[in-house]
Structure 1
């Protein structure tokens, strides 16, 4: 049991190291336990890049389920599966020693493609295009600011915000689930599910940027690293 606790602590330390020393919350710690358990099974033999691409394909399948036969209920399990794959690609890379810069690029590109597909799902559910564009633009702005800060020497992610990818997956899953159970829209608001959660995603994106910017100011080095 002691060695098991030690393994879990090592797993937390690895996550913290990747995220600039931020300690995982109890919710994140529980999620890490699930990912750690899955990454210890047969899936550990799958290349991390394949898992990244598989996550995108699963989100594409969720979009097809709405655009094609009109099955928003199918979006919920598919989005959950995409979230699991999104966690597993990094976990498998760390556990097998296959983490590499190119893999991080593949993961990042896959995430951005997935974000566009998530916005497209909201659009298919009935969200107005301007709200979807606002939501997705905020994601790209947040991730671009983080990537540029890392390029000039910022360690980690600057700050773990409320607008991270798991939140975006949850927002779209809730929109699809609501559309499947109550197609008429949100009873308390009179809005469609697509509009409601496109607005929610946009609001979360604004808060996420507000959380990230102070983190960038704290952690971006004042001068460029290395010789000029």
Structure 2
């Protein structure tokens, strides 16, 4: 088994797999990856695929308690947070453990998009309007679609860090559901929290997409 990379080595290797973007540029991303790197170290012998598939299952499992509403929303929020952590854990196991492959990278990216479908669905069944949940989900997908297309067009650095990276998406959904669960005893408040959380996520998604679009426009000439 290859030696487990140090945190700094992991950041460097992570950047190579993510369009050349240094995670140290963002305190949020750096902190998120540091947590994943720390948690992955004692699990270094575990297959990254296990964490990937468990993370997808956990994200899907959040939909049922979100639909149940009331105090169950607390569980839904916790499951969303756990799925996001598992998503970062599989990357740490692969990259820091020296087992990253192109096939695994593509699979991880595809699973990320599926988990974001789960997040949007959880917001919808928890009370967000259907159209807003669709917009939220689309704005989770759009930045990564831009990066993929820019990479195919020959842009070397496609990973500009915006306000709407994976940690932010997970945090918004998890905190929205937990917040709704906390106030679920008051009539109508849970639905309002979900509405505001989904709207805030959509706004951040629009801003993040704009940030990325500006950077890519410069890179494309």
- Measured in 1, the distance between the counterparts of 2:198 and 2:127 equals 10
Find the counterpart in structure 1 of residue 151 from structure 2: 150
Q: Where does structure 1 differ by over 6 angstroms across 4 or more consecutive aligned residues?
A: none
Q: Deviations along 1:156-204, whole A, 9 cap, x unmatched?
A: 43311111121111111111111111124787xx961221111111101
- Give the gaps of 5 or more residues in structure 2: none
Counterpart mapping for 1:85-96 below 5 A: 85-96=86-97
The aligned length equals 213
- Measured in 2, the distance between the counterparts of 1:110 and 1:196 equals 27
Find the counterpart in structure 2 of residue 104 from structure 1: 105
Find the counterpart in structure 2 of residue 9 from structure 1: 8
- Measured in 2, the distance between the counterparts of 1:28 and 1:139 equals 16
Q: Deviations along 1:81-135, whole A, 9 cap, x unmatched?
A: 1121111111111123221111111111111110111001111110001111111
For the residue of structure 1 that corresponds to 2:6, the secondary structure is helix
- Measured in 2, the distance between the counterparts of 1:142 and 1:8 equals 26
For the residue of structure 1 that corresponds to 2:44, the secondary structure is helix
Q: For the structure 1 residues 26 and 141, does the alpha-carbon distance in structure 2 shift closer, same or farther, using more than 3 Å as the test?
A: closer
Establish whether residue 165 from structure 1 lines up as the match of residue 166 from structure 2. Answer: yes
Counterpart mapping for 1:18-167 below 5 A: 18-19=17-18, 20-24=20-24, 25-41=26-42, 43-68=43-68, 71-167=72-168
Q: For the structure 1 residues 167 and 21, does the alpha-carbon distance in structure 2 shift closer, same or farther, using more than 3 Å as the test?
A: closer
Q: For the structure 1 residues 65 and 191, does the alpha-carbon distance in structure 2 shift closer, same or farther, using more than 3 Å as the test?
A: closer
**How far did residue 13 of structure 1 move?**
2.0
For the residue of structure 2 that corresponds to 1:46, the secondary structure is coil
Conservation of the 8 A alpha-carbon contact between 1:158 and 1:216: no
- Measured in 2, the distance between the counterparts of 1:137 and 1:30 equals 26
Rg larger in structure: 1
For the residue of structure 1 that corresponds to 2:96, the secondary structure is helix
- Measured in 2, the distance between the counterparts of 1:88 and 1:202 equals 26
